[in-house]
Amino acid sequence: MNLPRKKARGFTLIEVMIAVAIVGILAAIALPSFQAHLRKGRRADAQSFMMDLANRQQQYLLDARTYALDANFVTTLGATTPETVATYYTLTVTPAAATAPPTFTIHAAPFAAGPQGVDGELTLDNVGSKQRNDPNLGTVPW
């Protein structure tokens, strides 16, 4: 007596390989877009913190008749660098000594080896000029 064979259920190797290939293609397309989105978010964090520092510089000028221009200017201004900025950028201020009339330029330079390295340096000065030194486009406003 022959029993009827049950039809095998499941996926064939070809079907699984096609599904893996489709997932790989979608990941290859989505990953660069996701990384660009993260880079823009980190840049926005740095820009926001730089605006806060510029406001603190103006308040400091009213009290001290000069801007905070030392290497520890963030601490001098009573601010704490957020982790999202400190992890990806180095903040500096120029000039190193007081000028007449008083001026400052805050620089946020991305770490070259980090994910923000391709983004370019951000600058903000005492008159509110905001620029980004984009490696592909040159100097552009924020």
Dump pLDDT digits (tens) for 84-129.
Answer: 999 999 999 999 888 889 999 999 999 988 999 888 999 999 999 9
Do the domain assignments include residue 5?
no
Unique residue bearing structure tokens 């989505």: 30
Domain that holds residue 54: 14-141
Q: Which pLDDT value is given to residue 110?
A: 96
CATH code of 42's domain: 3.30.540.20
- Measured CA to CA, the distance from residue 92 to residue 53 in angstroms comes to 11
Q: Is the four-CA dihedral 40, 43, 49, 54 of positive or negative sign?
A: negative
Dump pLDDT digits (tens) for 38-79.
Answer: 999 999 999 999 999 999 999 999 999 999 999 999 999 999
Do the domain assignments include residue 1?
no
